[in-house]
Copies of this chain bind each other. A is one copy, B any other.
Amino acid sequence: IRTFKIASIPGDGIGVDITEAAVEVLQKLSQAFGTFNFEFDTLDWSSEKYKQRGYYAPPGGVEGLKKYDAIYFGAVGWPDVPDHISLWQMILPIRTTLNQYANVRPTRIIPGTISPLSACAANPSLLDWVIVRENSEGEYSGHGGTTPSTAHAPHTVATEVSIFTRVGIERIVRFAFETALHRPRKKLTMVTKSNAQRHGMVLWDAVFYEVAKEYDGRVEYDKMLVDAMTVRMVNRPETLDTIVATNLHADILSDLAAALSGSIGIAPSSNLDPTRQFPSMFEPIHGSAPDIAGQGIANPIGAFWSAAEMVRWLAGSDGNSNIVGLVDGPGVGNMVKAADCLMKAIENVTQAGVKTRDLGVRCACVNAIGFQRATTPTY
């Protein structure tokens, strides 16, 4: 029996609710299979603590995460702490310090739930995507500044400097091609805004086509501008499979993807260090949702699905998987099977009609034709 050490960071708001639920689910899962288990250290890096003591992660805290096998993250952010402080003190430094350069965000329509794009009946084949997000540089480099720093002078100027390195682009593009290669449809769509942004985005395009040559005939690929991509996601979702984009573009597109697939509450994400030198981090893509925090009504699917992705990733830790541990490798013991099992359990629940409010009926058309699903909020 293999034991994995997991740092659990519930964070704020519903991050706490769903992390508790996910930890319980992971423990049940390991008991059911009996060949692996998890030891959790819960780290109280929250906005509450920040207000008391002036920091989220304590000095050395992010470095200290290196000793874990993985990190499970809830959500961060609270109304009385400026967002750029909470993020730059914790989630963004974790991603970059631990070399988690690939943020992987699968989206599909969970059977039993309803996509706003196919209002009357779930049509799971309509939308089945993986968004691969560059997670270490680009628009989230944090570079830039404000002059003069008081920001009150009429001539104040502020910059945001997006930094794109050839190394950074190449590795994420290659990761995306590998991901596409391991999916049934083997398609990759690359997204930039290289018409208006004429430096970094043009480099991105160039590097993409260089790497693409290695996959010619094995992966079908095309290129979209980020604005037009939103239109394609709405109008022709079935034409998309794997998607690769910059830190900011993929951030926006993955929220849209979650909404189009049914709810932001179901969407998972994996912040991966594909080299496996450092631990990877798993978190639902939703935020801390102060309005419903602590009420036990948050949708836990995004958290459970993220937990399943963590199990799948750890399954690759015996060295049997390629860089895309998410989709490959026989795994430690039967962990790949365990991850599949957890996904199936989620679907059993949604198909039985047990759903949180965010998955309820909302389409006028559905009511119009008298088609009404029972929605029983449970969590």
Contacts and interface: CB of A to CB of B under 8 A. Distances in A.
Contact of A84 (B92, B162, B194, B260): B194
A144 B88 CA distance: 24
B155 A167 contact: yes
Interface stretch (A1-9, A30-38, A65-73, A113-121): A113-121
Contact of A160 (B142, B200, B365): B200
Interface residues of A, number: 76
Nearest to A196: B140
Given A116-B235, A126-B364, A230-B256, 4 more contacts: A86-B195, A144-B200, A196-B248, A196-B251
A344 interface: no
B197 A368 contact: no
Interface string A159-181: 11111111100000000000000
Given A120-B365, A165-B157, A227 B199 contact: no
B151 A166 contact: yes
Contacts of A254: 227
A268 to B, nearest CB: 15
Contact of A199 (B116, B144, B197, B247): B144
A145 interface: yes
A165 B159 contact: no
B84 A159 contact: no
A84 B201 CA distance: 10
Copies in the complex: 2
Nearest to A257: B230
A140 B197 contact: yes
A203 interface: yes
15 contacts: A84-B197, A118-B364, A118-B365, A119-B120, A120-B368, A120-B369, A144-B200, A146-B202, A146-B203, A154-B166, A155-B165, A156-B166, A158-B199, A160-B197, A228-B264
A139 B256 contact: no
Contacts of A258: 231
A254 to B, nearest CB: 8
Nearest to A230: B256
Given A116-B117, A234-B259, A199 B160 contact: yes
